[in-house]
Amino acid sequence: MKISLKSESNPAELSKEKVFEQFFRDFYPRLVYFAYQILADKVKAEDTVQEAFIKLWDHRDEVSTNPIAIKNFLYSTVKNSSLNIIRHEKVVEKFKTSFIPAEAEENTVVNYIIQSEVLSEIHQAIQTLPESCQRISRMGYLEGMKNHEIAATLGISINTVKTQKQRAMQLLRLRLNPEAFILIAALIDNPFF
């Protein structure tokens, strides 16, 4: 493509607007294709090319009116903008992958601290129970033993185990804060140990 700054029919110079319009018509599709090859996203490619033409227009007094210089300016601007978009996306992706695990890790650590504190409170509360309730509570709630296993280990009836566990729960409800009590109630079905 050859754009002359002089009109064939009119010896007066073409206005910069006319040169710009001609370059836009001729180069927009090929620049979009060029940007698409780098970005693999048509919308981003179109936006990048539009921004390149805006940049050309903003710098029209600084850019040579030579068609080769304008063509080089446009291709160079589209290439650099496209590569900047890719670099930015990589930085964003890297930030996302590095930030999310760190945040999740911190939440996990905080949860472990809370669980440790609550578990410590539960252990202390269990130690205040009468000896038989204390032993059966440890075996059932903290060690995860079933009622029949506790009964067999201690040589007592299953009903005695159930009664002692029920008594322990009543006493623990009075001694523990509500959060710790909810946790020990959850331990009935899901022991930590």
Using one digit for the tens of pLDDT, what is the confidence trace for 12-32? Answer: 345 778 878 888 998 899 999
Beta bridge pairs of residue 13: 6
Using one digit for the tens of pLDDT, what is the confidence trace for 61-91? Answer: 887 778 888 888 899 999 999 999 999 998 8
Kindly tell me if the per-residue pLDDT of 100 is higher than 60: no
CATH number for the domain spanning 168: value is 1.10.10
CA distances from 143 to 100, 132, 169 (A): 34, 16, 16
- What pLDDT sits at residue 92? 85
Within-domain flag for 74: yes
- What pLDDT sits at residue 8? 42
Containing domain of residue 166, as a range?
A: 128-187
Within-domain flag for 52: yes
Q: Which residue do the tokens 């590569």 mark?
A: 83
Number of domains in the chain: 2
